[in-house]
Chains A and B, each alone.
Chain A
Amino acid sequence: MPTVFGTAIKRREDPRLITGRATYTDDIRLPGLVHAAILRSPHAHARIRSIDVEKARRAPGVVAAYTGRDLQGRIGTVPTAWLLPDSDLKTPPHPVLAVDRVRYVGDGVALVVADSPARARDALELIGVEYEPLPVVVNQEEAMQPGKPQLHGEAPKNVAFHWKAGNGASEAFQQAEVVVRHRFVNNRLIPNAMEPRSAVARYNPSSGEMTLWMTSQNPHIHRYLLSGILGIPEHKLRVVAPEVGGGFGSKIACYPDEALVAFAARELGVPVKWTEDRRESFIATTHGRDHIQDVELAGRKDGTITGLRATVHASMGAYVSTAAPGVPTILFGLMLQGAYRIPQIEVDVYGVFTNTTPTDAYRGAGRPEATFIVERLVDLFARQIGMDPAEVRRRNFIPANAFPYDTPTGLTYDSGDYATALDKLLEALDYPALRRRQEELRRQGRYLGVGFSTYVEICGLGPSQVAGAVGFQGGLWDSATLRVLPTGKVLVYTGTSPHGQGEETTFAQIVAEALGIPVEDVEVRHGDTGEVYMGWGTYGSRTTPVGGSAVARAAERVVEKARVFAAHMLEVAQDDLTFEEGRFQVKGAPGRSVSFQDVALQAHLAWNLPEGVEPSLEASAFYDPPNFCYPFGAHACVVEVDRDTGEVRLERYVAVDDCGRIINPLIVEGQVHGGVVQGIGQALWEGAVYDENGQLLTGSLMDYALPKARFFPEIETHHTETPAPHNPLGVKGVGETGTIASTPAVVNAVVDALAPFGVKHLETPLTPEKVWKAMQDGRR
């Protein structure tokens, strides 16, 4: 049988998705279903003088209407689930509906339930809210200045937390021959998963059981947190993530809205559905990034980097969202090492409240913000000392023989070979020829640029002990159960909850490989807390390294037990058996063997069991990784800037990624493509813009530019394979690498193209206007 591990098998998820037979949350229809709509604040900051829902209650089709006051004492507040230690983190209560004050445009103030979605929305217009507008602050640095509006009494100067890490860098800066200082603004992004958030709740008053279907990346975490908000015991609450139309981090968080839907279903005794529209998604679903970063790099003229310092102001928005405190700290600050031997690192982060939509994880979460700093600084440093940017990178790489490598921020990089990835990239680019072409074109008045990004990322989130030490209010292990049926078919239950990443296929490949059975004989189940015992979800590229490792372990256990049965069936000692290609074979006796399917049947018939062995073939594994995984790679982008319009044309994009062993090349490549494009989105087009009153000016897809098909050349993908040394599969995770790497690669390329104009940096997104102005200013 050909090995299934490493094979580009077509995804088993696809048939239901390409025929319209998949069920997303909003597709769910239940008898008696009613529909909820949420009235959201039009003010970024205001006192609520009064809310009158009487007219709405009497509107046609309306079943109920609630204000924040109606809910007081009957439902809890929205928790923060990353309680950052060694900081002064404040987590002011976040009510599910605002009671006397709204703090951002989009803050929920009332809930209406009606017999149709349209009638629920109609009724929102009948609610009278008297607001007393308050002064607004949207910029995180300004928010810390004296005299600025205070969002929460318990957070003076709007500081949600102050956190520091690193081993101190003052020595490096005192001795530096070269210092590069810069301020970067890592712009705020809006995740925009194509499927808006949605929830359907059904309550059974006689059993006290609540079923909540919702757009979730982590149903078990949602069950855990919502159980607290709703006061429903965890074993009576079932959270189901059916088909989920993308998440990119935005479906990790615990929001007020899904809790409200569940509350209404319990209150009214009928199933309730709510689905946000895109406008609502823009203001009510968490945003990403939004850092002001003051950074400096110390180095020597020979190209050696000796130190890095960063002071960062990260906007939390109006409340501290679920995982928000961990994003600009643990996932960002600890990663400022990048791919380089930087002996001294110092980082200071302020998390700050502003009158904006709360921020939280967004694809890459923290690592793109860190990589951007490091990769831009390396380029600025290279330019200052007059050295080729690829050469500076190579000189500073952590060498392949230095792994495991302890960083000054306290992480241990598991394995890597950064120089090989860069070599492969330079070869694919034909780098010397590219530089010659750049020179030639410049003479013709055309502006070509080449930008690099050699990155390391932290993923495969676990170990649980570390999760606890850094304040994450959960474990980060994962679970798998393999249930072998009498005919030898296998059901796999995973605690991760993929939503587009294709793990149903990947995990089936892991099991088929381990058991030597056809991949079609394996079915993978996920996303339902009623079916899967426990798991911590899909984010941080943890699904295959952690969840997949659990699957591999559980499969090993199934084989162990099957071996016991097989030995009994063949009347030999277990050690006398080999297990290959799905058969237990007596060593040296070619005629004597039993198949996995034979064993499965006998294990279930249980007519003749080995002594002391229980019937059936089922095994579970709970895998807690001993370390994170550290994928890496080298990306490059070639752009040409239009002299007349400032438009950036992507000419080539070449990615070399190392995510450890590759289980399904097709899926890995797809993840890279998507990730790269998402990162390029930040570089060139995407950016949330608030006005001084806290109104989101980019509040719809008409104002917020998402990447489109025609903007891109073919993305060229290459791989190296450096196995993770600490998990049974040797895999590292690839869901975020592209997003992490591509933003700085593109910005480096554009800045390189604009070198003749003396341009040293431009803030993302690099709109034609910005680029054109830079060329105009440079000319003067």
Chain B
Amino acid sequence: MNVEVPITVTVNGVEYSRHVEPRQLLVHFLRETLGLTGTHVGCDTSQCGACTVLLDGEAVKSCTVLAAQADGSQVTTVEGLEQDGMLHPIQEGFWEKHGLQCGFCTPGMLMVTQALLNRNPDPSDEEIREALEGNLCRCTGYQNIVRAVRRAAESMQERHAQVAAARGEEGA
């Protein structure tokens, strides 16, 4: 176990080059090596989803990816959601709709929401509940998480519409 492999990973826009044990999981790389503790470990069987991050834009459970496998990739964690010091609409949605209680599963919920809304900007409640399939929450009963995701989808669409309108004006 003394062999270490060099990797370079871009996390939240910052490039990190480190030597890691081949067995090290991405979640431990983020938490232990980089000190990004926003990503949480809730189980050891990839059931709970607390450790969900975006790997090259796709939601992955960072406990099922080896750090070495992430070599050369872009990773986004909960710490990378804020833009220019402003909460992301997904974060706003969870805050506004009381989509969290203890907050432990929340980073994973936020990241899986990001992945969902990337591929489906206007999901139905059923689609939202399906997308949350791999993420467990023990506090909220999910209902307010569903509301939060819906709210996030709405405000992201509003923003897109605003941006489009602004571009239209510029064009004119």
Listed in ascending order, the chain A residues whose CB lies under 8 Å from chain B are 10-11, 13-15, 17-24, 26-27, 29, 60, 118, 122, 192-196, 243-246, 248, 275, 277-279, 499-502, 666-667, 669-670, 673-678, 700-702, 706-710, 712, 714-715, 738
Contacts and interface: CB of A to CB of B under 8 A. Distances in A.
Contact of B138 (A194, A275, A670): A194
Contacts of A706: 136, 138
Contacts of A13: 103
B95 interface: yes
Contacts of A501: 101
B120 to A, nearest CB: 15
Given A278-B44, A501-B101, A20 B136 contact: no
A676 B138 CA distance: 11
Interface string B107-144: 10010000000000000001011101101111111111
B15 interface: no
Interface size class of B (residues with CB under 8 A): 35 or more
A675 B138 CA distance: 9
B35 to A, nearest CB: 7
Contacts of B82: 19
B83 to A, nearest CB: 12
B96 interface: yes
B45 to A, nearest CB: 5
Main SS of the interface on chain A?
Answer: loop
Contact of A715 (B103, B110, B143): B143
Interface string B21-54: 1010000000100011111111111011010000
Contacts of B106: 17-18
20 contacts: A11-B95, A11-B98, A15-B95, A17-B103, A18-B91, A19-B82, A20-B79, A24-B37, A195-B42, A243-B102, A245-B42, A245-B102, A246-B101, A277-B43, A279-B45, A500-B139, A666-B98, A670-B101, A670-B140, A706-B136
Nearest to B143: A673
B100 interface: yes
Contact of A502 (B35, B37, B101, B143): B101
B62 interface: no
A37 B101 CA distance: 29
Contact of B96 (A10, A27, A29, A243): A10
Contact of A712 (B78, B102, B138, B142): B142
Contacts of B39: 20
Interface string B136-157: 1111111111100000000000
B53 to A, nearest CB: 11
Given A19-B87, A194-B50, A709 B44 contact: no
Given A194-B105, A502-B101, A708 B133 contact: yes
- Most chain B beta-carbon neighbours within 10 Å: one of A193, A195, A714: A195
A562 B44 CA distance: 55
Nearest to A244: B102
Contacts of B126: 710
A669 B141 CA distance: 10
B132 A708 contact: yes
B60 to A, nearest CB: 17
Contacts of A243: 102-104
B78 A19 contact: yes
- Most chain A beta-carbon neighbours within 10 Å: one of B23, B98, B103, B133: B103
A585 to B, nearest CB: 36
Contacts of B31: 27
A195 B95 contact: no
Contact of A246 (B1, B35, B98, B139): B139
A702 B45 contact: yes
B81 interface: yes
A541 to B, nearest CB: 14
B154 to A, nearest CB: 17
Nearest to B44: A277
A278 B48 contact: yes
B42 A194 contact: yes
A715 B141 CA distance: 9
A677 B105 contact: no
- Most chain B beta-carbon neighbours within 10 Å: one of A122, A245, A676: A245
Nearest to A12: B95
Nearest to B95: A14
- Most chain A beta-carbon neighbours within 10 Å: one of B87, B107, B139: B139
B102 A670 contact: no
B45 A678 contact: no
A192 B138 contact: yes
Contacts of A700: 43-45, 47
A499 B136 contact: no
A701 B45 contact: yes
B98 A10 contact: yes
Contact of A18 (B47, B100, B140): B100
Nearest to A23: B37
Contacts of B96: 10
A118 B141 CA distance: 34
